[in-house]
Amino acid sequence: MAEGGTEHTSKKEKKGEIAHKFVLPERQAKVNLLIKAMEQATGDVGDTLYCICRSSDCERFMIGCDHCEEWYHGDCIGVTQLDARSIKRYYCDACRARNPSLEIQYKNKKKEKRVSESSDQERFDKHHKEYRSKLREKMMAKSRTTRRCGECSACHRNEDCGRCDFCKDMRKFGGINKLRQKCRLRQCTNYGISTSDKGSVATDTGSERAVTDLSDFEDDFDEEEAYENVKVAPKKRERRTSSSEASPKKKKDKKKVKSKEKGKKTPEKPQKSRQKSSLSRRRTEVDDALETDDDMPRQCYGPACIEPARLGSKYCSDECGMKLAKSRIYEILPSRIQQWHSSPCVGEDNNKKLLEQLRQETIEARLKLRQLDLKIQELDALVERGKHLSVVAEQEGAEQDEDTELSIYCVTCGSEVSQKGALRHMEKCYLKFEAQTSFWSIYKTRIEGNSMFCDFYNPQQKMYCKRLKILCPEHTKEPKVNPDAVCGCPIPVNLFTEGDVLCRAPKRKCVKHFCWEKLRRAEIDMQRLRQWMKLDDLFEQERNIRMAMSNRMGVLGLMLHQTVDHDPTTPMKTTPN
């Protein structure tokens, strides 16, 4: 059939296709003989009407629907002999319209490639060409939304493949919707025929581009390589078929010239090669997606199972899948465990070192926390000591006289205040602004010992206040100061050292040490808070490391990964801890 180079296939051949839609040339003679014998035996003459044209003509190439078993002329429905070679199961338009689950099934792409390459003549089937051009004209006349011929398998495809670049870009497949193009497998094969075919008939859209590019790519592609590595989609090939009206011979010559030209150009244009690599990537993606179409029933992979696998699965049932997985674990895991124990693992060593480091840091942080707790106790003791002291009025008067005329600017509001009242003003000013901002959390603080947070619960918001307790202007009331209370702030000997002597001015009037106790507590609390946050951070890091370690040693980790010693002559050594 293919080697004969005839454009017309007899009904005899057509009948032969009932068993095999595609018959290898060497087997064709046998099939013809067989059909002839059958015809003679049954006296079948052929007055029946076929196809959508309802003619009895069966001297042209025909293809039968595998659902309704009606026969169609290739040129009437736009299927060439070449197409038929790659089709495993063909369903006519009427059947596909009635039952959308029916899809034309294609054969193994390798085989198809081999044959299609060997039969250039059929590629330029005249009828097919006419059919395509009619379709194209029809489509061009329609509006923007019509990019579908409605007759090719791509147009009949209802679902996105989810694997091509356009699908991956779609939001439903987790993309960011940049490309906004239709699934490659759903792009009409009759739309956007190569521009060489008919001037500038179609706009250069994504789909068309891709296909034209692919055709170019095919031309350049080493046939042997293509044979081994690339499975060609029948749709793409089909479009190239209709791209020229030249005779096969002319086409061949043209192709030669083209490939020669390309051979010359290649070294000069690095950009071209870049494009090609991207094309090859895209092509692989398309082919990957096409592989899903290969619905050849195959045997279940389950151990000792002879049932056919479910569609799109390797197994006939979940049980078989589990069975195989289990047997894999039994077979692989023991050796992996053995290997794990015998070979060193750098990741594991690094993790251990990190854990040790984290442990040290945790100890340090806890030590600091204890020191800070001690500081609070010291402060309490200091305050207690101050309570037993009596007010010394002279000190108060002397200080007041000294600085009456100096003034400074408030760091919070910027207004000018006298130095005497500066601390008091700034404290009040700070509290005023602080009260305007809220810090809330839905969680109550859980800290060993005294919490430094306010943790006032707001039942309306169902949240806890996260200001420092000592500084919270909203929920912590200023303690009432007794008129007889002494300031009690330790007076520093010099700038950095604190003396034993305490300020004995009345607490209410001491302008030098206003709120000293509160600020000191806040300072200590802030340091405690930092240490707690550090501990939290260390804990998180430790958790992550431990998780990584357990994953590495877990069943899944052992099954999936393996350490390979690429240089057995100098075996790997664990770095000493």
Q: Which residues are near DNA by CB under 7 A?
A: 143-145, 147, 160, 170-172, 178-183, 186-187, 203-207, 209, 212-213, 275, 278-279
Closest approach of DNA to the CB of residue 204, in Å: 6
Closest approach of DNA to the CB of residue 252, in Å: 23
Choice between 213 and 348, CB closer to DNA: 213
Closest approach of DNA to the CB of residue 177, in Å: 7
Choice between 273 and 338, CB closer to DNA: 273
Helix (H) or strand (E) holding 533: helix 516-553
Alpha-carbon distance of 163 to 213, in angstroms, equals: 19
Closest approach of DNA to the CB of residue 287, in Å: 17
β-strand partners of 416: 409
Detail the DSSP E strand segments found in 170-294: none
**Cα dihedral 182, 186, 190, 195 sign:** positive
Choice between 200 and 390, CB closer to DNA: 200
Closest approach of DNA to the CB of residue 190, in Å: 13
Closest approach of DNA to the CB of residue 452, in Å: 46
3-state SS of the chain: helix, strand, coil percent to 5?
Answer: 50, 5, 40
In this structure, what DSSP letter does residue 187 have?
S
Contacts of residue 176, Cβ cutoff 8 Å, sequence gap at least 6: 169
Query: What is the residue type of 531?
Result: Q
Tokens 């200023």, residue?
478
Choice between 116 and 207, CB closer to DNA: 207
Measured between alpha carbons, how far is residue 227 from residues 149, 212, 544 in Å? 31, 20, 48
Choice between 255 and 352, CB closer to DNA: 255
Closest approach of DNA to the CB of residue 173, in Å: 10
Closest approach of DNA to the CB of residue 145, in Å: 5
Q: Taking a C-beta distance cutoff of 8 angstroms, is the pair 124, 248 a contact?
A: yes
Choice between 183 and 538, CB closer to DNA: 183
Closest approach of DNA to the CB of residue 279, in Å: 6
β-strand partners of 441: 464
Instruction: Return phi, psi of residue 417, to 5°.
Output: -130, 155
Tokens, residue 152: 């090719």
Choice between 158 and 460, CB closer to DNA: 158
Choice between 121 and 212, CB closer to DNA: 212
Choice between 201 and 431, CB closer to DNA: 201
Choice between 284 and 360, CB closer to DNA: 284
Instruction: Return phi, psi of residue 38, to 5°.
Output: -65, -40
Closest approach of DNA to the CB of residue 266, in Å: 15
Contacts of residue 48, Cβ cutoff 8 Å, sequence gap at least 6: 56
Contacts 24+ apart (CB under 8 A), 465-471: 465/438, 465/439, 465/440, 466/439, 466/440, 466/441, 467/434, 467/439, 468/522, 468/525, 468/526, 468/529, 469/525, 470/518, 470/521, 470/522, 470/525, 471/434, 471/518, 471/522
Contacts of residue 330, Cβ cutoff 8 Å, sequence gap at least 6: none
Closest approach of DNA to the CB of residue 196, in Å: 11
Choice between 172 and 480, CB closer to DNA: 172
Maximum Cα interatomic distance, the chain, rounded to a whole number of Å: 139
Q: Taking a C-beta distance cutoff of 8 angstroms, is the pair 412, 433 a contact?
A: yes
